[in-house]
Structure 1
């Protein structure tokens, strides 16, 4: 196997915070001294340069501030910090932040001439290697945040993703991944596999599990009606064959009660008559919602999970 370019992102603020967890400390040690970037939990656009995305600082909109003046609109977002499409301002799932000056922006020198034809703030691919491997140390929410940046920059096809989790999680269970030092060795030397990537209609991605509760209303998996009335909750997992696996949870007392019902398909649409709490990859949505859609993305995620030789 050709050795890909390697980028290691630890989703903790610094090495001391990462090594406070023994399993994560073992994972760092197993990386064998390779450079590690400490990027904090659920990173956003600040990791774009590490992923191979550059931005044209010269093509900002008229309201953009000059370097050193503090906050400014970025990526075509309104001045109040909320993007026009309702997505988190910095691309981090599960939270909204004020738009700030893009740390990836430089002076604009050395930008290819073709960039001048792009709209303000358009992400532009820099050198695009045949393979670049991004190793993520963190939890499922951190992995989802990094995958979201790859998706938005159209880099899923050129980047492999290794995952070093500090504890068992829906992602490690779904893909039979180890944790700690064993996960680090696999992330460095394992083979990539094409796995299902799920998106939601709010611009996010799902890599492990989504939980919605309570639900009162129709739930459709593709054209099939899975639920018509009330249920305490709903669980959605990526499904390698179809796209999504949807399970309706029912109340049971001492094992007595309706059993969970499961169906797979390409997409699930939920319309509830009562507000639902949504938890996606362990991150609660900031506000309850009465509608939610999850669907299989057209391109897979290149996840490193193959057996070591």
Structure 2
């Protein structure tokens, strides 16, 4: 197995024998060419159905249990992301867009990480490295939005100016919010259907002050997709805001699953 450590604005020491690429805090496509090259070397030609072919099947399952990648890779590629959830999102986004989600993905979190909590990662560095380098893969849904950005830990939908939410947020066919509260927060689930979402009960500035989101657990809904519409929406993915307000956004489960290294 080839292990490639993607160290994102970090000085964390990497165990000997593991190749390291130093990147910015949130690497862009150009910086992630090393991952692209490693994926191409591991699987020069993908003989499995393309995303378009999968989507065109009348019997395609959108809400089944996550599955292992079907690609026949002689020497598996394992990408170990050292950094924040935003860094992990950037790596997952690139792997999704370049269609090499068959690669194993592990995380060594720097700072607070919702993805690490969602994946149940150990807190000790030695245990984290042991898992990242020797742990087994457990598939999980990949959640993305309609801007083709992958969600690593969490995403948010709220008013652009932080005011009370105006609009509607729907999870599959159920209304989560209709001009009430302060938007919503969603996280990927480890199994089907893929997304768990709750209403926010305070502005995001209040979230930071309390070091955690002010959420309504009683509003929890799960589904494959979350759709929202409103006059000026701020969409964030792993703490990174979309550059401009939007009037609608959709988060949904990708056709290929993540190959996550987790307990």
- Give the structure-2-normalised TM-score: 0.73
Q: Distance in 1 between matches of 2:24 and 2:157?
A: 27
Asked if residue 266 in structure 1 is aligned to residue 251 in structure 2, the reply is no
Mapped pair 1:39 → 2:23: yes
Cα separation, 2, equivalents of 1:251 and 1:260: 15
Q: Does 1:48 align with 2:33?
A: yes
Q: Is the 8 A contact 1:249 1:259 kept in 2?
A: no
Cα offsets for 1:167-212 (capped at 9, x unmatched)? 2311011111134343222101111110111010111111110122
Give ranges in structure 1 of 5+ residues lacking alignment: 13-17, 20-24, 56-110, 113-126
Give 1 or 2 for the bigger CA radius of gyration. Answer: 1
Higher relative contact order (CA 8 A, sep 6+): 2
Residues paired across the two proteins, number = 215
Helix, strand or coil: the match of 1:230? Answer: coil
CA shift, 1:299, in A, is: 1.2
Give a deviation string over 1:45-98, Cα, whole Å, max 9, x none: 23234333699xxxxxxxxxxxxxxxxxxxxxxxxxxxxxxxxxxxxxxxxxxx
Question: Matches of residues 1-309 of structure 1 in structure 2 within 5 Å?
Answer: 4-12=1-9, 18-19=10-11, 25=12, 28-29=13-14, 31-32=15-16, 34-46=18-30, 47-52=32-37, 129-157=74-102, 159-179=103-123, 180-214=125-159, 215-239=165-189, 240-250=191-201, 260-273=218-231, 275-306=232-263
**Structure 2 residue matching 1:148: 3-state secondary structure:** helix
Whose strand fraction is larger, Structure 1's or Structure 2's?
2
Tell me, in whole angstroms, the C-alpha distance in 1 between the residues paired with 2:141 and 2:216: 30
Q: Distance in 1 between matches of 2:217 and 2:107?
A: 33
The 1-side partners of 2:81 and 2:201 are apart by 35
TM-score, normalised via structure 1 length: 0.63
Kept in 2: contact 1:138–1:165 (CA 8 A): yes
Q: Distance in 1 between the 2:253 and 2:168 partners?
A: 20
Equivalent-residue separation in structure 1 for 2:252 and 2:35 (angstroms): 28
1:65 aligned partner: none
- Give me the whole-angstrom Cα distance separating, in 1, the residues matched to 2:26 and 2:130: 23
For residues 95-134 of structure 1, give each alpha carbon's deviation from its aligned partner in whole angstroms, at most 9, with x where no partner exists.
xxxxxxxxxxxxxxxx99xxxxxxxxxxxxxx96441111
